[in-house]
Structure formats: C-alpha cells, structure tokens
Amino acid sequence: MFQEMLRAARELLAVRSPLDAELIVSEMLGAWWGKRLLHDDVEELVGEALVDYAAKAGTPAALALLTGIAYLGTPRQAAKAERAALPLMEAGVARPGWAGRVGMVEPDDCYVSRDVYGDQDSIVCTYTYGGEERHALVVVIDHNERGMVVDAWVSSQVEKLLGYCRQEAEDNPLMLFEPLPASRARAMLEKALAITDDTEEPPVKDTFGSYHAFVRARIRALPPGGRRPAPPVHSRDRRATMAAQFLASDEAEGLSDRSAASRCVDRIIDYGCDHDFGRPLRVSPIKCETFLLHYLPRKVMLSPGEQDAMPHVLAAWVRWASQRTRLHEEGVRQTLDKVWDITGKFAEAYRDPTTFGLDRELVERLLPDGDLEALARRAFAFPFLTAGNAEIDLTRLDPADDHDRHRLLEFEHPDPDREHIEAHLRLARRLWDGDPPQLWGIAEYLLDKGHDRHDILHRLMTIVDEVGDDPRALRAALRGLRDEV
C-alpha cells in the first residue's frame, strides 16, 4: 500500500500550487480516515508508518509527501514528518517549488449560510497564500446529526461562491447569509469536527475523508479565542411551565384529549431540550420528520391515545412555537405541511409492542424508562420473566434491580457457579443500558446467522471480560467478532 501511495505522490512533483499539493496529500491521508483497530487509531498508526516508509525511500516524491504531512498530519504525524524531512533536505533531495509556501495560509473572511430553521450551517472560510491564490473552504454542520460536520469542499472561485450565497439569501426568505467572526468560526468548527471524529461510522458524505486532514489544518489556521454559547439548560420546572403555557394557548384549544395532549407535549419539549441542543421551540420539516418517524418509533413507549394525538399536538406546537421564534410564515407552512404529510407514515412506523401479543405489564417491566428501543435487547438478556417454580415467582422480580437480576439469571442456570453468574450479570447490565450500542448489534447479527442465544451470550461475555472498560477496544473487538463469523 505504501509503495502505491509513494508512486501516487509523484503527482506532487508536477503541481505548482501549494493548494493543489495540500489537497492531494489530504486525499492520501484520508484513505484510512475513520477506520479503527483494537487498541490503536488507524490514522495515527498507518500515518506514522507511511512517514517511516517515505523517510527510507528518500526520493523527491517522498520528500514532497513528508512536506505535506508536516502541515496536514496529526500533531504526532506532523512532528515525525518534519524530523524525517530534514535529513533528506540536508542530503540535497530536490524539493518541489510549492514546498516553501505549503501551510503558509492566512485566514481572510468567514461567513455562515444557514436556513432559518436552524437545521444546517454552511461555514465559508476564505484564505490566501500571502494575498495570492484566494480559496474558500466550505464546511457543513448538521444540527439534526448532533451538530457534527457532515461534508466539506474547497472552491477557488471565491467571488462566484460568495455571490451565489448572497443571491440565495436574497431570493429565498428561508435562507440567511452573514459574516462570522473568524474566532467564532474556529470554535464552531472545532466542536463539530470533534463530534464527527468521535462518532463511529458518522453519516458523512462519501468524499469527506479526502478533505478531513485539510479541514483540520485550515481550522488550526483560524484565530483562537472564540466561544460557542453553551446550550441553555431547561429544568423540569421550566419545561413544565412551557407545557402549561402551550396547553393554555389558542393553538392548543382544539386538542380534544387533554390528558394525552399533556403527555405528548412533554415528549416534544424533552426531545427539543435533550436531543436538539436545548432548543424545544425550534421547529422545522426535518426535525418534525425525525421526531415522528425515527425518534418516537424507536425510543418512546406511547399509549394508544398518545399515538393518535401526537401528530395533532405536534402541529399545534409548531404554530405556537413559531410565534415565539418569529419563524417566517413560509417556514411555518412548510413545517405544517410536512407534519400532515407524514401523519399516515407515523401510524405505520410506530409499532406498539402490545399489538404483537406482548402483555403490556411485561413490556412495562422491561421498559420502566419508556425506552422502546431497549425492548428487544432487554428481553434477550432476561427472557424468563413469567411463571417460575416452587422456590421463586418470576413475576415478582424486577429486571431493573441488580439483586432481582441475579435471581433471574440463577433461575436460568439450575447449577449456578458464582463467577459464571457474575459474568452473565456484567453482560446483562450492558445489554440493559445499551452500552455500547454495538453489543446488541452484534447479538442481532449472530441471531440472524442462526447462532444459539446462550452461545452468543458466552461469546459476548468473553469479549467484555477480556477487553475491560476501554470503550474503543470493546467496539473494535465486537467488530472483530462480526468479521470472524
């Protein structure tokens, strides 16, 4: 692989622009971006090995690659590449013409293009090399994806790009385009990129890996010191007051089932506070669709009355909240249209487990927190919750209580070995909490492959006990198990 990359690095000798060189190196470093190994970060491990390989090659292409990595690599890669490049330069290995200017960028202006809903921010940062070769980096932050960076690209046609953004804001009342202090842009981008980097398999565009190193380096070129305001904290009392104000409003007057409406608006407010950066009043077509078709069917146990009421309560909430945020009337119309368009889909997407013959009392024992997503994995961990024998009544045991969990596991193992039960208990806790999510994902995968439940439990127990509390190592071990089978 390194031989092929060094051969590809010959292209660096043919380009004249430091921008072109940086983009080529960034694409090469992005070949393994986002990959993980059991105990190591692939970006560090492979990147540093590439530096070693280039240093031994000692060719002009190798020196060009080391020069690019010294600017675009991680701090460890950069330091190692710089140390490796110095002996080659002293030995007289030819340097490309752009080598003296690579990384010598100066930030110019920053802007943000955003929709009035607050779904996405496209941050535009312009740079020059000493006043020449002006170019723009565009980075997209998606606030419906936990505020992570999901896309990035570079344009050398800066005035054309800025003109398009200004014209779009003039023509579309739902778009804004405004200057952004460079230090503030850096704070926003650093936080958003960190979320992307910390997310396993983030939902980024296919080309993002090629720009990742370039984005990281350009963020470092922006002035520090900016702060992104912390999301507001809504106490339980503040949420309850907001719900009461809504239920007393004209917008909520037509809601017939007031009890169901009260519970539904609590769900709406909690979703905005806990999953949308403390913004319960923010409404948008995408946010409403995500809430109705993805969050509720996956996460929340609703009563039949709440299932019927939820779309109507959400539509009333859109009208009420948009008055307080002064959302443009076209934005309100589009959001309401989306709610009504997906109401039928919500009825199809939301699957009440009791409609499949599961006893509601049993479901509630497994879901004391109402986390509908947890039902399958908790039932997998504790399949015996009814009946019992002369010594134990399983219906009286609480699977959320550690002492009762121990008794449930002992019932499943007629001749219990204490250490074995403790190992089962450690795994059961993780399955109950979904920690990490990949644990249940690999269990489902093995079930689909026809593996026996108890065999799956023992495989997972072995991994959990061998790896310990290192979350990255645990995720990597689970991926290894998936590859193995």
Task: Per residue of the chain (485 residues), give pLDDT as tens.
Answer: 888 888 988 999 999 999 999 999 999 999 888 776 544 566 667 888 889 999 998 999 999 999 999 999 989 899 999 999 999 999 999 999 999 899 899 999 999 999 999 999 999 999 999 999 999 999 999 999 999 999 999 999 999 999 999 999 999 999 999 999 999 999 999 999 999 998 888 999 999 999 999 999 999 999 998 877 778 899 999 999 999 999 999 999 999 999 999 999 999 999 999 999 999 999 999 999 999 999 999 899 898 899 999 999 999 999 999 999 999 999 999 999 999 999 999 998 888 777 767 788 888 899 999 888 899 999 999 988 887 776 788 888 999 999 999 999 988 887 778 899 999 999 999 999 999 988 999 999 999 999 999 999 999 999 999 888 888 788 888 888 887 77
- Distance between CA 347 and CA 170 in Å, rounded? 39
Nearest residue to 350 via CA among 285, 295, 313: 295
DSSP label of 451: -
Those residues whose C-beta lies under 8 Å from the C-beta of residue 172, and which sit 6 or more positions away, are: none
Closest CA to 114 of 362, 262, 282: 282
My answer on whether omega of the bond before 436 falls inside 30° of 0, hence cis, is: yes
> How far is Cα 150 from Cα 238, in angstroms, rounded to an integer?
33
Q: Which of 7, 228, 207 is nearest to 112 (CA)?
A: 228
Phi/psi class of residue 365: alpha, beta or left (left: φ > 0; alpha: ψ in -120 to 50)? alpha
Helix residue ranges, H only, 103-176? 158-171
Contact 268, 252 (CB under 8 A): no
What's the N-to-C CA distance of the chain in angstroms?
27
Residue 373 Cα distances to 1, 297, 377, 432, angstroms: 42, 8, 8, 11
Q: Which residue(s) pair with 139 in the sheet?
A: 123, 152
